[in-house]
Amino acid sequence: MTNIIEIKFGYWPQKLHIHSSNIQAEPLPEFEDVVSKVSGSSQVDGSWFYPDFQKTLPAYQIPPTHVLHIANEANGRELGELAIAVIGLLEGMRLIPEEWVHFYRAAIKLHTLSDLSCGKGEIEEVLQITQTFWKLNHAQDIRRCLFGAIHWLLFSESYIHEFERFAAQYIVLDSCFWLHKNIRGVPPGGMSHAARPSFLARAYGIPEPNWATMLPDNTCELSRLRNEFFHEGRYCGHPIGFALSPLIPPITLQLNAFNTRLILGILGVNCNYLKSPVDTRAMHDLGLTKP
């Protein structure tokens, strides 16, 4: 590739070389040393790297492991950042450019942030689909909203408390509805927050979770949680921070899974993953299919 932009990124402990149209990614020469140093750090606990809270400002960086090459054309940098975020979505990690930072805990093991598993060839195919989406959707608002949805879905998992993750994941759901509305449209007359999860599930062939089913009073379980949270300062019937959702698995895990499926559906990724239930703790293969 000539006349290219290079973006170092990470932390991604997967020694893969990715080739997809005008996007390529490869491990840096220091890959092995970085992985060894990070995995052996005293700031690691299980799947997470934690900031040094002895410092006044907890913002910190983890050394990059890979470099992404992308054609230097209009908005090439933004497309490269989106591609990095998409790889992170598929691998269940928040991958970021070298100069960006982490604020809270950061996942350092694959599949920590999602219930999705896929192979190298599928990553390359989804990156190709992402480039097609980019070319078909020229509006900057749509491109940035898509990136924002992926970024916030992954970033939200760095929060410790369930109510924090719930608020963030609901924002992602709202972003997905906005994207669908502005790309595909919705029935005239507007749509309530209560009706949106069920509508989006049907639109992308996702099994409808129980919390999305419309109730006789024109609410759903999720919209009740949402209304209490944003309008009344309560979560699960109690002041925020004093209760957890009784759902099993937790509503935050289910929302994360639902939103991940929505984002892939909006991108135009046809796969069996979209048809898998969100109310389990199981991992699911991507399973790309033809349109």
Task: Give 9's strand partners.
Answer: 66, 97
Q: Which residue has tokens 């999305």?
A: 212
> How many Å apart are CA 3 and CA 258, to the nearest integer?
39
Q: How many CB atoms lie within 10 A of CB 206?
A: 22
Q: Evaluate if residue 2 carries a pLDDT over 60.
A: no
What percentage of residues in the chain have a pLDDT greater than 90?
90
Q: Which residues contact 87 (CB under 8 A, 6 or more apart)?
A: 12, 18, 25, 95, 123, 127
Q: What is the pTM of this model?
A: 0.95
Q: Which residues contact 100 (CB under 8 A, 6 or more apart)?
A: 61
* Structure tokens given for 43: 């700031």
pLDDT of residue 108: 98
> How many Å apart are CA 132 and CA 278, to the nearest integer?
27
- Burial group, residue 246, by CB count within 10 angstroms (0-12, 13-18, 19+): exposed
Tens of pLDDT, residues 40-82:
999 999 999 999 876 666 789 999 999 999 988 878 999 999 9
pLDDT of residue 190: 82
Could you please report the per-residue DSSP string of 134-153?
A: HHH---HHHHHHHHHHHHHH
Nearest to 107 by CA among 97, 94, 98, 120: 94
| 3-state DSSP assignment of residue 168 | helix
Task: Give 235's strand partners.
Answer: 238
> How many Å apart are CA 88 and CA 105, to the nearest integer?
16
Tens of pLDDT, residues 170-200:
999 999 999 999 999 988 888 999 999 999 9
| Mean pLDDT score, 90-96 | 98
Nearest to 107 by CA among 158, 149, 153, 67: 158
* Structure tokens given for 176: 């997905």
Q: Evaluate if residue 239 carries a pLDDT over 60.
A: yes
| Mean pLDDT score, 5-18 | 97
> How many Å apart are CA 51 and CA 140, to the nearest integer?
33
> How many Å apart are CA 174 and CA 187, to the nearest integer?
17
Nearest to 152 by CA among 7, 260, 245, 22: 260
> How many Å apart are CA 8 and CA 6, to the nearest integer?
7
Q: 53-62, 133-142, 235-244: which has the minimum mean pLDDT?
A: 53-62
pLDDT of residue 57: 67
* Structure tokens given for 17: 């070389």
pLDDT of residue 290: 82
Nearest to 288 by CA among 276, 272, 275: 272
> How many Å apart are CA 41 and CA 28, to the nearest integer?
20
Q: Evaluate if residue 209 carries a pLDDT over 90.
A: yes
Alpha carbon 206 to its chain's center: 17
- The overall average pLDDT reported for the chain is 95
Q: Evaluate if residue 262 carries a pLDDT over 70.
A: yes
| Mean pLDDT score, 237-243 | 95
